[in-house]
Amino acid sequence: MGDHLLILEGLAATYNHAVRALSDISLTVGRGEVVALLGANGAGKSTTLKAISNLLHAERAQLSRGRIVFDGRDTAALAPAELVRLGLVPVLEGRHCFRALSVEENLVAGGIGGGLSRRAITRGLERVYTLFPRLKERRRSASGLTSGGEQQMTAIGRALMSRPRLLVLDEPSMGLAPLVVEKIFRTLKRLNVEEGLSILVAEQNSTVALRYANRAAVLEAGVTALSGDAADLRGRAEIRALYLGSPGESAAHLAALRGPSPANGDT
Amino acid sequence: MFEFQFFVEVLVGGLLSGVMYSLVAIGFVLIYKTSGVLNFAQGAMLLFAALTFVSLVERGVPFWFAIGATLVVMVALGVAVERVVLRPLVNQSPMTLFMATLGLSYVIEGVAQLLWGTQVHGLDLGIDDVPFEVGGVLISQFDLFAAATAGALVAGFALFFRHTRTGLAFRAVADDQFAALAVGLRLSRVWAAVWTAAGTVALVAGLLWGARLGVQYSLSLVVLKALPVLMLGGFDSVAGAIVGGLLIGAIEKLAEIYVGPLFGGGIEAWAAYVVALTFLLLRPSGLFGHKLVERV
């Protein structure tokens, strides 16, 4: 299993020990791979990503079953800060910039989170500014006052500061103009190709995600419903019907996909 | 009849005593901003600091050494409270946390009583309280000293938060705790730093208030003076705590002198609450605050 950087095995999770959010999630991310996590609203994408970064506790949720292995280590006992230092870094849904802090302070905070020295932080800033020149222009602005695209770049840049080996992004395209989305995905792909950064990205915008990903997994009510080669999935009719939007077909395909006993309890 | 010079004198006296309120309020704000806990025990910490200091001095410990020792004790107390009481309660409702600190304040008072006894102590910081005159207005020297000390403390914190890594981490945690967790900041370290700061504030406020009122158990009730300040300034703004403190101080004194006689006097103690409650109805988040008491 040496080529798998991240392995999820049969994850189940609940909120407040009551509401079930995940029932059976399994997936892998290989070294140097871009994997897309697709699915409708409430399918469990965000919960899966939070479980990976051990952030469920902060939202009164917990894993009830299953195992997560990052780079050969079971992550159950690791704090989020330790995972960041090991190279597993999340970019949260809704960007979550430190709104009152300047763009540059946001990036520095990422460096501090990664435990970098002052020198390394300076070098990291250079690198992020090369990737996102726009951030250099805006570096003194309070990030809460920058545009949605700039905030997403700040959030990604902040995560890159701690030198991740696996970047875990939750809906980076949310609320952004198509051109900006394209630009962000292109930058991510470039990091993947040039520096071997592995990427796991949850997206509702499956068109874009499938175009940049090597592989994809589709979640359906807390279960991994499908997974496979991205190019393959792109061509498959039921995926297109379900997640690329053509409402007439989707009901029938949904029934076909779900099979005889649908998992329940999802929000 | 209205005498301007007298008015100014009352106003200045009020503003300077307001600085003392700000000082207590800042202790609240620091902890509330970063952890969402409204630390009712701030008053008990203040008492504990003053009592420890006075008892050390009375036992012949030199002044500066006593200050250093008390600071160490306060930092230890703050960190212990965070670790033993609040950390296990992380993610509980704000009311649970508030009740925990309320209980805590009685425990701290009880322990202080066990350690240092119950008698009232005088505290002399070596500053004469002889008023001096500026353009016909009498100003208390002690009040001025207190204001300068508080100002220096706030300036020190401002520099710390602006220019150090821990300061940046503090602001990040205060801004978005979930994001801070996600980028790998260690919340426990930030909280330890915050409680250290709150312990320092408690020490300074305890010494100044102790010198003013004498070191006694009612000293912990100065928290009740801080609440209207926080309602006015906002629970999560240091600037709000300063401005709110000044306003409350000034309003209290002016109300006592100019409005009090209409009711037969004695309104100083509750005038601040009238103002704060009125303000609460008009602008619930305070002058500078983001939200009313609510965990982010």
ipTM associated with this complex: 0.87
**Dihedral class, residue B36 (left if φ above 0, else alpha if ψ from -120 to 50, else beta):** left
Residues A184, A192: contact at Cβ < 8 Å?
Answer: no
Report the DSSP beta bridge partners of residue A170: A202
Which is more confidently placed, B224 or A244?
B224
Q: What angle (nearest 5°) sits at the alpha carbon of residue A151, between those of residues B286 and A115?
A: 90
How far apart, in Å, are the Cα atoms of A191 and each of A115, A164, B113, B210?
A: 21, 11, 62, 60
pTM of the model: 0.82
A252 CB neighbour count, 10 Å cutoff: 11
Which is more confidently placed, A266 or B97?
B97
Which is more confidently placed, B39 or A173?
A173
Residues B268, B252: contact at Cβ < 8 Å?
Answer: yes
* Token pair listed for A35: 């994997």
Output the DSSP codes for B25-62.
Answer: HHHHHHHHHHH----TTHHHHHHHHHHHHHHHHHTT--
Residues A84 and A92: their CA atoms lie apart, in Å, by 13
Percent of chain B residues topping a pLDDT of 90: 26
Supply the mean pLDDT for chain B: 86
pLDDT of residue B49: 93
Which is more confidently placed, B226 or A122?
A122
Contacts of A236 (CB under 8 A, 6+ apart): none
Are A98 and B175 an interchain contact pair (Cβ–Cβ within 8 Å)? Answer: yes
In A53-92, the residues whose Cβ lies within 8 Å of chain B are: 53, 55, 57-60, 79-81, 83-85, 89-90, 92
pLDDT of residue A164: 97
Q: What is the mean pLDDT of residues B136-147?
A: 84
Alpha helical stretches, state H, chain A = 45-52, 80-86, 103-113, 118-131, 133-137, 148-161, 178-195, 206-212, 230-235, 237-243, 247-258
In B167-186, the residues whose Cβ lies within 8 Å of chain A are: 168-169, 171-172, 175-186
Residues B114 and B289: their CA atoms lie apart, in Å, by 39
For residue A159, which residues of chain B lie inside 8 Å, CB to CB?
A: 183
Residues A21 and A225: their CA atoms lie apart, in Å, by 15
- One pLDDT digit (tens) per residue for chain A, 267 residues: 458 999 999 999 999 888 888 999 999 999 999 999 998 888 899 999 999 999 998 888 889 999 999 999 999 999 999 999 999 999 999 999 999 899 999 999 999 999 999 999 999 999 999 999 999 999 999 999 999 999 999 999 999 999 999 999 999 999 999 999 999 999 999 999 999 999 999 998 888 999 999 999 999 889 998 888 988 888 776 666 665 444 444 555 555 555 554 444 343
